[in-house]
Amino acid sequence: MSDSLTLSVIKADVGGYVGHSTVHPELLEAARTRVREAVERELLIDGHVTHCGDDLELIMTHQKGVDDAEIHKFAWDVFVDCTEIAKRLKLYGAGQDLLSDAFAGTVRGMGPGVAEMEFEERPSEPVVVFMADKTSPGAWNLPLFQIYANPFNTAGLVIDPAMHQGFEFEVLDVFEHKSIRFACPEEMYEILMFIGAPRRYMVKHVYRRKDGEIAASASTQRLSLIAGKYVGKDDPVLVTRCQSGLPALGETLEPFTFPHLVEGWMRGSHHGPLMPVSFADATPSRFDGPPRVIAAGFQITQGKLIGPRDLFDDPAFDGARAEATKAADYLRRHGPFEPHRLGLDDMEYTTMPQLMEKLKDRWQEVNEE
């Protein structure tokens, strides 16, 4: 056990209500009871349970560090318990994200998404937990670049001496299972070559260069790669620390005024705009979307989660929502055509292999170019 604090966000879709649109109140209640018990027996300092779409989200503070077997086991057990309720209620896709029957020390690689960070609590510690549904972890690349590398987004990069040296990004290659670090601003053009391809390269962590302080941590699990076949999208979470030498709350939220296109939406097979919504509107329904993101703000005080504040429940994001709806209308008119539908590489997890097999004898050689 260390003196420093760990913030762990662990999430899974263990059954949808109705379809893939939201989480049933009984599951939320059961998870809240389990979290309360874990606080009472001092496994956790504090915990908050919420949902984004059909994903059950456990936001937890403790002193056991990242990747801790006990914390991960606790989250796993909550998801297993909630799966039982989901099965009883015949909710949709009960246990969908639990890819294994037995826990093996960490939830990594077993289906749930994880974003964790360990730090010394500052005199005041504002954090934002972003949670998205109907998209994949690459969705954070663009906003993370904006927050930590773009002075047109983050005035503090220019104005605040603590941020003037910039930030270091750890980028994961999820196909090759390796990572690389880029220092910005010097390597802005290099990093963009990679993170501009968010299917394969995903920002995992961001650090302040002045002192190596951790600023952001994202979940990077891709369920389809874990399972080897399509098993739903790996709706991601992101944790950021804000203020006094890190991007301000408003600088952290600002990139979400642009509902950029992400992978996901219907059947995890379409591009669609990422719409910032209030907690109440985190219920993707139109064509199972469009992809949504919520932002829960907390002050962390001696490890306690003071909050959340529903940060996108703000008319300042109405414009982004309207723009997302317009982009959704435009994309939907493409029906099953790219670029609304994802490229063929992503179709390998769907009907394409069966179709190729079925039609393999009907292809004729052609001689002309």
Q: Which residues are catalytic?
A: 13, 230, 233
Binding partner selected for residue 55 from ligand F6R, Mg ion, none, CB under the kind-specific 5 to 8 Å limit: Mg ion
User: Binding pattern to ligand F6R, positions 281-300, x when CB under 6 A?
Assistant: -------x------------
Q: Minimum distance between the CB of residue 56 and Mg ion, rounded to whole angstroms? A: 9
The nearer residue to ligand F6R, 18 or 316, going by C-beta atoms, is 18
Handedness of CA 190, 193, 195, 199 (dihedral sign): negative
Decide if residue 20 touches ligand F6R (CB under 6 A).
yes
The crossing angle, in degrees rounded to 10, of helices 141-149 and 188-195 is 170
Handedness of CA 52, 78, 32, 87 (dihedral sign): positive
Binding partner selected for residue 266 from ligand F6R, Mg ion, none, CB under the kind-specific 5 to 8 Å limit: ligand F6R
Q: Minimum distance between the CB of residue 324 and ligand F6R, rounded to whole angstroms? A: 17
The nearer residue to ligand F6R, 97 or 254, going by C-beta atoms, is 97
Nearest-angstrom CA–CA distance, 14 and 112: 9
Is the omega angle on the peptide bond into residue 185 within 30 degrees of 0, that is, cis? yes
The nearer residue to ligand F6R, 94 or 300, going by C-beta atoms, is 94
Question: Is residue 131 within 8 Å of 292, Cβ to Cβ?
Answer: no
Binding partner selected for residue 185 from ligand F6R, Mg ion, none, CB under the kind-specific 5 to 8 Å limit: none
Decide if residue 48 touches ligand F6R (CB under 6 A).
no
Decide if residue 62 touches ligand F6R (CB under 6 A).
no
- Classify residue 31 by burial, with Cβ atoms within 10 Å: 0-12, 13-18, 19+: buried
Nearest-angstrom CA–CA distance, 219 and 131: 10
Report residue 105 as tokens: 């020390």
Decide if residue 11 touches ligand F6R (CB under 6 A).
no
The crossing angle, in degrees rounded to 10, of helices 25-40 and 69-88 is 150
- Residue of the chain from 47, 232, 255, 273 that contacts ligand F6R (CB under 6 A): 232
The site for ligand F6R (CB under 6 A) is made up of 19-20, 93, 134, 232-233, 266-268, 288
